[in-house]
Structure 1
Amino acid sequence: MEKKLIFISILLFLSGCYTYKPLPTYENDFVVGQKYEIRIGNRPMERVFVNSVTDSTLVVRKGRTELVVQRDMITESKFRKFSPGKTVLGIVVGGFLTYSIASIVIWL
């Protein structure tokens, strides 16, 4: 049973999760090759990757789909920067919780 716990713990650490922290941006100030969260109208925030920028449009990639978005349709935007602190904290807390729950299940 210990081997199963070790295996589950290793899988958790190799999961490849990551987090991003929002940074302030100036309105309509987008950089090609960066990740942003944008809101179009009243829709929820969407994480996108900016492929190209013109005066009136953005070409963004969401998943495998490329979209052309009018700048005046964007109601909110946030620049996303990788946060190694949050990622490490999430992995450590997640590993501890997984190990704790697995230990409780084994003892029951």
Structure 2
Amino acid sequence: MSTLPNETPHRGLERVLAALLHYGTAAACVAISIGLVMQWLGARGQGVINAGIAAFILLPVLRLVCMWIAFVRARDFRFAFITALVLTIMTVACVLGVLFSAHGH
């Protein structure tokens, strides 16, 4: 199977990741905007703002999960392993951050 000059073996994955980041960023921005308008109108909007911020934080994790699934399905175990390693490092960093911040207060 030959690929076109601008095509890569993971072109479909690139499109999925681009859509995830595009729509995820838009959704997070909308959530934050709604929360800000709610606060401006006197309602409690901090939870909506926090949800938007959480979406921004989770986007890279979701990207890695999508990549890992695509690599496993493509039987590209070298990249699946690397992606799993990065996810593990991020998870350990988050857990340690939560543990150390709980002890600091």
User: Under TM normalisation by the shorter chain, which class is it?
Assistant: 0.3 to 0.5
More helix by share: 2
Greater relative CO (CA pairs within 8 A, separation 6+): 1
TM-score by length of 2: 0.42
Higher share of residues assigned strand:
1
